[in-house]
A and B are shown apart, each in its own frame.
Chain A
Amino acid sequence: MAFLEWRKFHFFDLHPNVDDGKLSELFKENKITTTSSGNNHLVLSDSLGQIYLVSRSWHTSCFRAYEISVDFTQQMTSAPILVTIGQDEPGVNPLIKVWDTSRLDKNGSPYCYRITRALPGNRPVQVSALCVHDNLQLMAVGFIDGSLIIYRGDVTRDRSSKQKVLRTSNSFITGLAFKSTASNVFLFVATEALVVVYNVTQKDKEQKYHLDNIGCAKKCCVLAESMQESHFMIGRDDAVYCYTSDGRGPCYAVDGEKIALEWFRSYLIIISKSTRSTNLTAMPASNENSINQSVVNETNSITVLDIHNKFIVFSTTMPKIKAILNEWGALYILDEANRVYHLDENDLQSKLSLLFKKNLYDIAIRIAKSHQYDSDGLVNIFKQYGDHLCDKSDFSGAIEQYIKTIGKLEPSYVIRKFLDSQHIEKLTMYLQALHKRGQATEDHTTLLLNCYTKLNNSLGQSDNLKEFILSKDGDFSYDIDVAIKVCRQGSPAEALMLSKKHEKHDWYIKIQLEDHRRYAEVLDYIANLKFEEAEHYMRKFGTVLVENAPHESTRLLKKLCTDYKPAGAECGPLTGNFDVTVRADPEEFIHLFLSNSERLIEFLEHLMGEGSVLSRPVYNTLLEHYLHVWSNSENVSDKNKLSQKILKLMQNPDVDYDKSQALVVCHMNSFKDGICILVFNGRFGHQEPTLWVQALWSCVRNKTNPSMDLLNEILTVIAKEKLFSPQLVVDAIGTGNANVTLGHIRSYITNELQQERKKTKEIAELTANYRRDTDKLKELLGKLKEDVVEIRGSRCAACHHTLELPKIHFLCEHSFHQHCFQSFSDDENECPTCQPENKDLLELLKAREHNKDLHETFHSHLEKAPDGFSVVAEYLSRGVFNRYKIIADEALQKTLEMAPERNNNVKREPATELATYGAGAEARLRQSEVKSKPRAAPVSEGRMRTQEHRYSHSLEANMEYWKPKSVAKSAVKSNPFQGGGVSCTNPFGEEDYDEAKNPFNDGEDEDEDSDRNNPFREDLRPF
């Protein structure tokens, strides 16, 4: 009945005859009365008073302990001490003897420490139980009348021992057991009728607690000590009852009349009378000879109960059992015929494989755990279990097992099994667990989120994903970026949640923008961010935002550039850093408005309204966009309003804008008023005379309201500055639409005409003078050439004395004494009197020559001069640009050609030193090279090479200065050697200049100084 309820396994093997029959040989005549084991031997006692010590190799040594019989023995496990009770004399006269089995006397018998008579009171009573505490300080002897003697003190010493007699009951004491706890020592006593426990911690204060009213037979009690809570167990027919010192504990219903109980590791071994004859067949086959045993027909059953896991791990029937011996870590069973069996526990692996065979994985796990199986092994079991459950289609059970393998088993193993869509829920569970353990990779996150999405779609379980996303950071560990990416495809709402939660602003904004086109939300979101972030994201996504939500974006940008505070934190009381208002630089955002001038204007106007001082480019932009809007607007009143604004802006002295750029823009948009303002502000008057002309144009074209004052002013300036020939002015006014009458310009014209006339007169006079002078000089020259020159001078021009021979005459009609001349003059070819004058003249010429390369002066002259052309003309007349272009060309060409060849033989000659800069210098060198090739070529080349980079610099500079295209072209085309240094290629050929007029083309007389005239010099850094 109840017996059958236990789960049964076969974890033990029974090996018969392990002693080769040695013991049965030994006990042929005599009967074994009591057994014990410990301290590396088995102790068997016989009815003749002899004790046998059996070694592991079944070697026995025997000694006589008592004259008549040995009734009880207890071998201490941890000491070589054997305590025995037996009879030396006939009658009831039990004697306790304590032996040292490690000390043998000359007869080979152990040393006997003490002999004590065991008498409860004065009556001789038969002993029924013996128990010695492991500490060797306590010993209890039970008697058949229920009396109990407790001996305190060293068990090996007679004298120090104190004994106390207690009476438990009137019933036969069947078992005794000491149990020590941290602070107490208990003595459990089982009698045939009841169970009691004594607290024997203190001498003479033994306390008795009644535990139960049922008792047990001899040998049918045991102290189970290896569990967390040790129990004193008694075996009764219906069950094994357990006790703690507090009372009853559990109870195991194991049927059968008990013969003996034994405790081994964590197993309870129950020997009971076998009631069922059918069980005989279950006997191990090796025991067949036991059936032949006709002596006793009775068989015993042996049951090994795993108390911890609550199942029977071994049970069999076998011939009557005499004793169970627990030594050497093994269990030996001695039957009535003195045969020894070894009850051998299988190792864990074979237990497990047995369980696996039966697919009892849960039990395998339990067993493995109770054996402290290593985690790798356990994981292996979990895996097998999972596999098994999978085969049985119990997928949720399988997942439960697989989850336990996380961390050891490769997740892909499991995932592959569950990839089928019908298992998606289980797969989700597994992946969740994976994340909880922090073992998930990116792929797992992706998969999990996809699972969620799928579950969402098919089952409407949208909570999972939300839960996952909203879980605390510690709960799941995963790569947020991956999660967002995955969610973005399947469940965008979650992706948003996720990115918001983890402050992945980038993602949030991107998803909102790209997937949902929710621009307003994005702007709200950004408005909630910290300044730096808000600025960053506005810069990053501003273009799209402005394009799609111009008004809202502009509002946000305005805030950013004035006084930004995160929207959420606005009302926060702890604005400790309110004085440190950070502002974004508006310039950063201007480009966002490229195609939305209105908003840009709004934006910038707001900023100006806020009193921000903007940078020059910002103002420029504003102006530009104003004009853009202005020119695009159709509505006249709008246009007017706008133009007012523009003009206001341009006239605002605080507004620092680039006037020239403004001018260009005004031009582009034909915003005449603006041009006028720029001109009138006088800032351009002298710099940009053409402005006046333009002002004139705009003035006369303005049909609606020609301002006469304006016109007059313009005309005055034009007149004063000689900007425009009067004829053209009249032309302009004539072609203009404005209602300008002759009267309006009358004064101008008269003025002009008078001036013109005056000038003409002056020039005419001058011309006449020059002509006269020229005529005189011609005459003189003619005379000198053709006429005879009379040298009439009678006095020496030096000493003013009358001339005497020898004398020297000059054509200038000065005569000298030879000695005077010699002492006066430095040069015998020159007249010393005329020499200072000549010298002055020459110097003047030289100075002029010199002046022409003072470029700063040239430029400033040019700038200052009311008539630039005359300045240029004058400079040209000095030969400023003599052959310049040819030279430059050559230089460039040279540079280009030289660049590729790398030659390191750099040689310098001091002579060339002075001319080592500028393209002109180079040209000069080329010239000399052509003239005297053998000498100059290597020198110049070497120098050139060293300065290659410098020339390329100059090239760049030149290209900037001049029209780069043509320079480059000409440079490539022209050959430096062509025409002996005189290039005929004119880079400006296609320009406005006429070839004939080209000032660069007509300088034939190259001299050493020509390089100094190089107008590029200021672009070349001298070294």
Chain B
Amino acid sequence: MEVKDEFREETTKRLKNLGVDPAVIGEVTRLVNVGPLEKLLNLARSDSLWPMGFGLACCAIEGLMASNMARFDLARFGYEVMRASPRQADVMLVCGTVTKKIAPIVVRLYEQMPEPKYVIAMGSCAISGGPFVDSYNVVPGVDTLIPVDVYLPGCPPRPDAVIHAFMQLKAKINQAKGGKR
């Protein structure tokens, strides 16, 4: 996934408008780049997402445990700071089956998270109810309760896919205009 260096482009454009010599532009943009503060904040945000350690079913083993351990090591990307409190978390991985009994708690935890907040629906259960969609007590997808940013299919998704979902979320945050979405 190629991420455009928007800051460099912006700086180059401004210097060109000022009629600066191209050689000087190259030297300057090597050291200094300018851009809107929101973009800078998004950059910081997208590289240090703090997930909430909140597992509901089998997917939590891959999404919150395996992807954090040595072989896959989510810490390489800066996403390893599992928070036990929604007040400190940026992203909620909905790892597993959402039953009707847990649904009010999922909503409450989401509402307790401070803005900007993001949701990854992990596994076919969180996306659509998965293998239990015909059951009498399973919510058919967490997006019927809270807004979802990234859908991560699989049953369960591999830890590589979890990392990919985080990368997608990172791209989404960086493309956002203002603070959120």
A, B: real partners: no
Chain A residues with CB under 8 Å of chain B are none
